[in-house]
Structures are given as C-alpha cells and as structure tokens.
Amino acid sequence: MIKNFDFDVIIGSLPFLWKGLQVSFYLTFLALIGGILFGTLLALMRISNFKFLQYFSMTYVNFLRSMPLILVIFWFFFLIPLIIGRPIGGFYSAVIAFTMFEAAYYSEIIRAGLLSVSSNQVAAARATGLSYSQSMIYIILPQAFRNMIPVLLTQAVILFQDTSLVYVVSLRDFMTASSIVAQSQSRLVEMYLFAALIYFLICFTFSFMIKRIQNRKVVQ
Amino acid sequence: MNYNWNWSVLFEQQYFDWIISGTLWTIYLSLAASVIAFFLGSLIGILRTLDNKILNFIGTTYVEIFRNIPLLVQMFIWYFVFPELVPKEFGNWLKQDLPNPEFSSALFCLGTYTASRVAEQVRSGINSVSTGVGSAGYATGLTTYQLYIYILLPIGYRIIIPPLTSEFLTIFKNSSLALTIGLLELTARSNMIMDWTFQGFEAFTAATVIYVSVTMIVTLIMQRVEKQTQIPGFIRQKT
C-alpha cells in the first residue's frame, strides 16, 4: 500500500491547504472570543437574581446543548440571510453559528468557575462599597477565569476540531480544502491521512501544553 | 422577515416518511454505536488502570489518537481510506458486498471514537473506588480478573452513570456527522426537505424538536436509573 503512496500530491497542494488552515485558525479564534464573551453573559444571567434572566439562560443553554452542531450550522445559514435580509457570506455566518453554539458550552464552564469563587468574596466586595457589577468585574470574574483557564483551553481544542464541520456548508477551511484536493486528484487515502496527521499534531501539542499549565497550577 | 409559513409540509406523506425514517436511522446508529463504545471503552479504560506499563501505554495511545483527530476526519477515514488499506479481497468486499456501507462506517467511527471518551470515564470511575477496597479484595484471595468483575467495575460503573449518560447523548448528536458520507439520518433528511420545499424553518424545527425530546427522555430515564443504582454512603455526582 505504502508503495503507491503519492507524496507529491500533498506537497503540490500545500499552499492551498495552508490557506484552508488559516481559515480554520481564524474561525476558531473569532468563535472562541465570541463564545467566551456571550458565554460569560449567559453565566452571569444564570447566577443573577432575576428569574427571567435565569430561565432565559437555562433554556438557551439546554436547548443548544441538546442539538447537533451540524443542525445548528444549518439553522444559522438558513436564518441569518432571512433575518438580515441579505447574505453575509459563509465565513461570518459560520462565526455566528459557532459563537452561539460554543457559548452554551462556555457558559457552563464559566458558571462552574464563578461558583468556585467563595461567596464570602462577593459579600466582602459589596461591604467595601463596590456595586454588584463592580464586584463581578474586578473581584469575582478575574479569579474565576484563573481557575478556568485549563478547561477553557481544552474546550478551545474541541472548538478547533469542531470547525472542520463547516465542510457541510463548503466553507474552505483545512478540512474542506483537503477534501477538494482529495476529490479532484482522486487521492483520498493520502489527503485524508495527511489531514488526520496535521489535526492530530496541532491538537496533541495544544493538549500537552494545557496539561503542563494545569500541573504548574497544582504546584502553586 | 419575508417567509411563507407552511407547517402542513411536514405532514405530506413523502416528507413525513422522511422524518420518520431519518429519526429511526439516527436512533439505530446511536444505539448500536453505544454498545461498541461501552464495551471497547470499558476495555481501554481498564487497560489504563492495570499495573502494567505496556497495557497502560496501549490504552493511553488509543485515547490520545482518537481524541485529537476531528470526528469528521475519522468518518472519512473509515469510509474512504480504511477499505483501501486492508488486504485487497477484504477491501473489495467492504466496498461492493457489504450491505449499507455508510451505516457500518458511521457505526465503527462513532463506536471507536466514543470508546476513547468512555475509557476516560471508566478509568476515573475505577480510580475513584478507594484503594483499600482493592487491597481488601486481594486479601480475600480474589484474582485481578475477579477483583475487576466482582468489585471494581460494579462500583465504578454506578459512580459514572451521569457522565456515561452524557456520552450517550453525545453519540446521539454526533450521529448527524454520518450525513457527510451519505447516511440519510435525521439532520440529512431535514436538510433535504429544506432543499426540496424551501420550508427550512419547518424542516429544521421538526428535527430540533425530535433531538431535544429524545435528549429529555433519555435524561429523565437515566436520572431514575441513577437513583435506583445509587450506592448508600457514596456522594452522588452532579452532572
């Protein structure tokens, strides 16, 4: 089998694949920022004292978490042009879909992080005269985020893997690019094994680094 | 927003049948893959808890490989690449004679992928049983095999029912990836209805309602199972 392995097809398509990989990274980066911001908002709603906000956040999170990501992608690619009135392009539709989807997962991580900060801290912050939002922004969230960093990063690796699903809407990320080369050159074995190898190297390296951060935290 | 609502499209014979058959494929695939994931995952998880460097290494390698490659890539490897890598006759049989190759590829893909996640749960379940229990088991003269079968696994599994439930629900959601290799499961069917009728809202709503309801039903059942199997004196884990 390995005799027929055509490395030239991989080398020849490297510039094209690199473009795809950049799209994957950029999409991951934007969805990560968006997901954490919106996820923080959802988590704050969930622990707030307003029943309406609590229920809204709870329903949103449970709903999104029981749906497959591909269905969420289909939903947003269908809904966004309908709501905005014009198409905004595949990339930004994907950014919105991933942000909305990941926010549900991030909010659960962030909520756990917020709850890990002792409630005495809120009381102490309020006693020094800080308002609720000030005590959240300056006292609770910074501590919560420090506790959450490894979990947030692990979720980022999962997000990076998930971005390969934009294949279903033909957005040219690394996965779609590999598949385009594979189909057009009829070199499916080489291209899909190569894609697997690249994804593995990236994700494994990141997971390894996250483990080191985690271990360092334990020592402190 | 300009949209022509037409909910009745869902109840036209053809599209209604599509939704039903899509739902059934999704359920078959999830159930069958869960069985593979449970047994293979338990095996790998046990390997990682044994006192043997080589077996530990095999278990760890398995988990790292399957967890660090996107599921979609794994799906394509099972479907497009695997038949090319095995001996020729077997490969030809896979491509030509195997009934419903999309289903079996998706089944092995989801089963082996989820096994790597189940393995982590099983390992943490076994490790969470206090070491004193293991020593006590050895002291009464049990072999390692007996210790796992009669003591560590029965306790470990009951501890990890909540995370195992969410793994099952993950398979259920991940089964939608089978549409990329042409299995007409629920998400694929709803997208087809959208393509044929342009009633995307209705089609996706139907799929969403089915996914959410099955998730809710499974969660409720498993909460009861968890209560039933709870070991007195153990703190119940929260999901």
Looking at residue B238, its pLDDT comes to: 44
Q: Is B10 helix (H, G, I), strand (E, B) or coil?
A: helix
Backbone angles phi, psi at B130, to 5 degrees: -60, 145
The rounded distance, in Å, linking the Cα atoms of B196 and A154 is 40
Q: Which of A4, A5, A67, A111 to mutate to test the interface with B (most CBs of B within 10 A)?
A: A67
State which fold the B19-229 domain adopts.
MetI-like fold (1.10.3720)
* Across A68-82, A177-191, B2-16, B223-237, least confident range: B223-237
The rounded distance, in Å, linking the Cα atoms of B102 and B85 is 17
Looking at residue A132, its pLDDT comes to: 87
- CB < 8 Å & 24+ apart, contacts of A146-149: A147/A113, A147/A116, A147/A117, A148/A109, A148/A110, A148/A112, A148/A113, A149/A213
Looking at residue A220, its pLDDT comes to: 44
Average pLDDT of the residues of chain B: 89
Q: Using one digit for the tens of pLDDT, what is the confidence trace for B169-215?
A: 999 999 999 999 989 999 999 999 988 888 888 899 999 999 999 99
Q: Which of B29, B60, B74, B176 to mutate to test the interface with A (most CBs of A within 10 A)?
A: B176
Which residues of A fall within a CB distance of 8 Å from B74? Answer: 196
Query: Measured between CA atoms, how close is A15 to chain B, in angstroms?
Result: 20
The rounded distance, in Å, linking the Cα atoms of B12 and B29 is 26
Measured at the CA of A16, the angle between CA A1 and CA B80, to 5 degrees, comes to 35
- Token representation of residue B214: 């099955």
Task: Kindly state the DSSP code that residue A140 receives in the 8-state scheme.
Answer: I
Is residue B43 pLDDT above 90, yes or no? yes
Domain with residue A72: its CATH number is 1.10.3720.10
The answer to whether B200 faces chain A, any CB pair under 8 Å, is yes
Number of structural domains, chain A?
A: 1
The rounded distance, in Å, linking the Cα atoms of B136 and B83 is 48
**Residue carrying the six token digits 């390969």:** A164
Rounded to two decimals, the ipTM of the complex is 0.89
Backbone angles phi, psi at B235, to 5 degrees: -75, 130
**Residue carrying the six token digits 């190569």:** A194
Rg (CA), chain B: 21
Residue A112, class by beta-carbon neighbours within 10 Å (0-12 exposed, 13-18 middle, 19+ buried)?
middle
Looking at residue A123, its pLDDT comes to: 87
Across the interface, whether the CB atoms of A66 and B173 are under 8 A apart is answered yes
Is residue A219 pLDDT above 50, yes or no? no
The residues, any chain, with a CB within 8 Å of residue B212's CB and separated by 6 or more, are A63, A66, A67
Q: What is the mean pLDDT of residues A19-28?
A: 95
Q: At what angle do helices A14-47 and A141-162 cross, to 10 degrees?
A: 140
pTM score, two decimals?
0.89
Considering only residues A185 and B178, tell me which one the structure prediction assigns the higher pLDDT. B178
Q: What share of residues in chain B are helix, strand, coil (percent, to 5)?
A: 85, 0, 15
Looking at residue A44, its pLDDT comes to: 93
Across the interface, whether the CB atoms of B74 and A196 are under 8 A apart is answered yes
**Full residue range of the structural domain in which residue A209 is found:** 2-219
Contact of B33 with B175, CB cutoff 8 Å: yes
Average pLDDT of the residues of chain A: 90
Query: Measured between CA atoms, how close is B52 to chain A, in angstroms?
Result: 23
The rounded distance, in Å, linking the Cα atoms of A61 and A79 is 19
Q: Using one digit for the tens of pLDDT, what is the confidence trace for B80-124?
A: 998 888 888 887 787 777 778 889 999 999 999 999 999 999 999
The residues, any chain, with a CB within 8 Å of residue A43's CB and separated by 6 or more, are A57, A106, A107, A108, A110, A111, A114
The residues, any chain, with a CB within 8 Å of residue B3's CB and separated by 6 or more, are A82, B201
The answer to whether B11 faces chain A, any CB pair under 8 Å, is no
Contact of B127 with B50, CB cutoff 8 Å: no
Considering only residues B44 and B3, tell me which one the structure prediction assigns the higher pLDDT. B44
Across the interface, whether the CB atoms of A165 and B194 are under 8 A apart is answered no
Query: Measured between CA atoms, how close is A146 to chain B, in angstroms?
Result: 22
Which is it for the CA torsion A61, A63, A68, A73, positive or negative?
negative
Domain boundaries, chain B: 19-229
**Residue carrying the six token digits 């749906």:** A67
User: Could you tell me which chain A residue has the CA closest to the CA of B219?
Assistant: A66
Looking at chain A, the whole-number percentage of residues with pLDDT higher than 70 is 96
Is residue B237 pLDDT above 60, yes or no? no
Looking at residue B233, its pLDDT comes to: 67
- Using CA atoms in the order A45, A50, A52, A57, what is the torsion angle rounded to 10 degrees? 20
DSSP code string of B21-32: HHHHHHHHHHHH
Contact of B125 with B156, CB cutoff 8 Å: yes
Query: Measured between CA atoms, how close is A87 to chain B, in angstroms?
Result: 13
Q: What is the mean pLDDT of residues B128-154?
A: 90
Looking at residue B191, its pLDDT comes to: 92
Is residue A2 pLDDT above 60, yes or no? no
The answer to whether B74 faces chain A, any CB pair under 8 Å, is yes
H/E run at residue B230: none
Measured at the CA of A83, the angle between CA A81 and CA A85, to 5 degrees, comes to 55
DSSP-H helix ranges across A140-187? 141-162, 174-185
Whose CA is closest to B65, among B115, B134, B127, B137? B115
User: Could you tell me which chain B residue has the CA closest to the CA of A165?
Assistant: B72
**Residue carrying the six token digits 């809710």:** B216
The answer to whether B215 faces chain A, any CB pair under 8 Å, is yes
Which residues of A fall within a CB distance of 8 Å from B64? Answer: 204, 207
- Token representation of residue A219: 């020592």
